[in-house]
Structure 1
């Protein structure tokens, strides 16, 4: 037998390529190297011909393909691949030929892929589509059993429920109070137009007037302007008449909080008639039908104002223009009149009330300036003493702040040179006034030391030796 094998080996020498098997792992190469060398020519101890060798090669190729399928599910596109002629190609990115590697791949893709959401972000329960997607107009199917022809002409609108009485004051009161701050009637019109007032429409003027009764004169002027602008876009003339009727009925309750309510409501009625909000026959309609004394006083006040308007009185400005809306020249005139009235009456409380009614706390330095100038131009001690008492009272009650007081004195210090042209003793009087103001606690020591003093050089008599002395007066 040995001699037969040796004879066969001499007849069929083994080439170098047959010594390597790229389809087997390292363990298989080490364990069965001799077997693999002769596997082409012998199977189960039988010598094979050339046809049996081709069958064996086909089996090896099939086994290599199975190994590639198994590796492709783990390393998709990165493992070994098989070329068209059956040869193994290592390190290439050839996609696996078997479709089962994609269909049956249930392994995690952690760390792989581009990280995009599934279905482009349009997947998930209860999701109609990806974010930002705009759908076209849906066409109604006329063959639908639930199709209704009336749906084609439907118009959908936002319905605002009518405002209830319990929520009326909570909603409208902040709007009116905010209007007293900014004074923009267009904003109020827009806000009220967005509310469904319903039957509470006629309550808006009465609420605005009742709030203005406890406010300042400038805010009453704003209320009259608001009523004129609301009539038409939001309210009708009948709503205005119903609102003022309710105000006249509520006068006994309004007098408890505002004693002057009858006169003020009468002024509002006269202003409304002047602005053509109320008819001219509105007041005449109450003749002979009024039992309440407050209502009668209010209507009489309105009738008197309307009669005076025929003689030239401007009812459209009866409340005046409050605050900084007035010109500076007008404010200066009112300050001078206030000071002259105080000098004649000596009532500091009335002067304080008038100064508050001007509603110009930022302009109180002008009051201090005019008061000091009045003292400098006066000839007696009475004016100086009364002005000191008034400034002391206003400073103690904080009507005039420390900054406004300081600014008024500093303005006099700056203009004393021009004032001295008309008043020769201005420096001397100012020095006395400043010293007494410091003693009474109206100003501090720093403001007192800033007071200018005019120096004068004079030669004394010959008995003094002709010494030059500096004296201030």
Structure 2
């Protein structure tokens, strides 16, 4: 019988499969196919099968169940069947597969909220203090804090600047004063000195400033006097200024070695300080009969004389003058004319050079060249022409007057020669001769000489000449 059943199954495989499908599908709703499979394994058409035929049929049923599971999983990936350990089909739900890479790059909220924006509007996160422009209220002290200390509740914390030592004083203050000579802003100096803890070294500021001004120009001395007047009050006290001048009077023997005119200059500083009311009027009188140094005595005498002259109308507030480009142009022209007239009388080129340097206007030296040439055109003798040419050559060789300034001075004369000729009829002829001599002396180049204007010759015809032209007239 077993042999006949096996032969029948082999001859009719489709019907066997349909049979198995009907049994399995009928019991799927009841939780699977184990009962139907057991019935089929034991009996087919009322005939009990042997163990070998049961194993063959069981294998076929398992293969059919696997094929049906693969079809269901492909149609519905979210809901599919799974196999148990023994190969039985088990229906259930499974999550959709996701790749780990997509989880790392996904910036969307896991809760389904938000639009992927940063947390707390950018105010959160590690190392973030909050939104920009957010103002925090003063933090209140927690009395229950274990680190709370009642003694520190009313403490005031301030930045402490150590006092400036004497060895570092000159190294720190000297650049400040030298920079002030360039910009002339006393407020900036006061701010820089206010940041330093000068302490007992406050009186050293006027001493250092005056010492540097003695070796500088007259304009720098004027700036120093203004600086002392502006610092007295915000930074310095009157006692500091008095101590500074006392020290200067004691150091005069050493200052004279570098600056021979130091006693007179220190006396002028004292007189200006008294006029600016940063020194008391009794300061000079306090030294009467108590001065042994001749240099200190000369300085105090100079200050006393200037104060007496101020009562007669002398302006001590303009004692050092106004240096450089701060002077009016008319005043500079007047001083240059006086310088040229003094040179014509003395003939001292070095003194003229020193006076020209003291004007401190190297950008305006073309005016000096212009005034010198006009003086030659207005002169009546050859002496003035020779002396002016000698002076210009000396200043050109010593590089006091640059080539550019010399050229601009000559070009200005060329432009104004027509107006000068109205007052000086022979101006064209004299200018042409002076330009030729300047080129021979090496003061100007050939190109500048060729630019010299010359007036065309005029031809005069008289009635008695018979129409002939006078060639030698001009």
State the TM bucket, normalised to the shorter chain.
Answer: 0.7 to 0.9
The Cα shift of 1:131 comes to 2.9
Deviations 1:18-54 (A, max 9, x none): 89xxxxxxxxxxxxxxxxxx988547994599xxx9x
Q: Give the Cα separation in 2 of the matches to 1:334 and 1:306.
A: 26
In the other structure, the counterpart of 2:358 is 357
Q: Report matched runs for 1:454-465 at 5 Å.
A: 454-458=455-459
Matches within 5 A, 1:9-408: 13-15=19-21, 41-42=36-37, 46=41, 81-82=78-79, 86=91, 93=96, 112-114=105-107, 129-133=126-130, 137-408=138-409
| Alpha-carbon distance in structure 2 between the residues aligned to 1:11 and 1:365 | 123
Query: Which deviates the most, 130-139 or 432-441?
Result: 130-139
Q: Secondary structure at the match of 2:153?
A: helix
Report Cα offsets for 1:352-389 as digits up to 9, x if no partner.
10000000000000000000100111101110011000
Segments of structure 1 that go 5 or more residues without pairing to the other structure are 20-37, 69-78, 97-106, 122-127
Cα shift at 1:273: 0.2
Structure 1 residues 149 and 455 mapped into 2: Cα distance closer, same or farther (>3 Å)? Answer: same
The 2-side partners of 1:48 and 1:357 are apart by 136
SS of equivalent residue, structure 2 residue 233: coil
1:431-442, aligned counterparts within 5 Å?
Answer: 431-442=432-443
**Shift in CA distance, 16/310, structure 1 to aligned 2, threshold 3 Å:** farther
Q: Give the CA deviation at 1:95.
A: 7.6
How far did residue 155 of structure 1 move?
1.4
Alpha-carbon offset, residue 457 of structure 1:
2.7
Counting matched residue pairs gives: 412
Structural RMSD (CA)? 3.8
The structure-2 alpha-carbon separation of the partners of 1:142 and 1:368, relative to structure 1 and needing over 3 Å to count, comes to same
1:338 CA displacement: 0.4
Instruction: Tell me by how many angstroms 1:159 deviates.
Output: 1.0
Distance 1:148-1:379 versus aligned 2 partners, 3 A rule: same
Q: 1:93 to 1:11 in 2, by over 3 A?
A: closer
**Counterpart secondary structure, 1:457:** coil
Check whether the contact 1:459–1:466 (CA below 8 A) recurs between aligned residues.
no
**Equivalent residue of 2:344, what SS?**
helix
Judged with a 3 Å threshold, the aligned counterparts in structure 2 of structure 1 residues 347 and 16 are, in CA distance, closer, same or farther, namely farther
| Corresponding residue of 1:450 | 451
Q: 1:270-296, CA deviations, whole angstroms, 9 ceiling, x for partnerless residues?
A: 000000000000011111111111110
In 2 relative to 1, CA 270–449 (structure 1 residues): closer, same or farther, beyond 3 Å? same
Q: 1:438 to 1:115 in 2, by over 3 A?
A: farther
CA displacement, residues 302-344 of structure 1 (integer Å, 9 cap, x when unaligned): 0000000000000000100000000000000000000111111
| C-alpha contact (below 8 Å) 1:42/1:48 kept by paired residues | no
Tell me if structure 1 keeps the 8 A contact 2:23–2:36.
no
TM-score of the aligned structures, taking structure 2 as reference length: 0.77
Comparing 189-198 with 39-48, greater Cα deviation is found at: 39-48
Are the counterparts in 2 of residues 343 and 383 from structure 1 also a CA contact under 8 Å?
Answer: yes
> Residues 459 and 473 of structure 2 are in contact (CA less than 8 Å); yes or no, is this contact kept in structure 1?
no
Pairwise CA distance, 1:11: 10
Tell me the residue number matched to 2:115. Answer: none
Matched residue of 2:457: which SS? strand
Deviations 1:202-228 (A, max 9, x none): 100000000000000000000000000
Structure with higher Rg: it is 2
Give structure 2 stretches of 5+ with no counterpart: 26-32, 45-57, 82-89, 110-117, 120-124
Q: Secondary structure at the match of 1:195?
A: coil
Matches of 2:39 and 2:138, distance apart in 1: 77
1:11 and 1:346 map into 2 onto residues whose CA distance is: 141
Contact map agreement 2:253 2:295 (CA 8 A) in 1 = yes
Relative distance call for 1:18 and 1:350 in structure 2 (3 A) is: farther
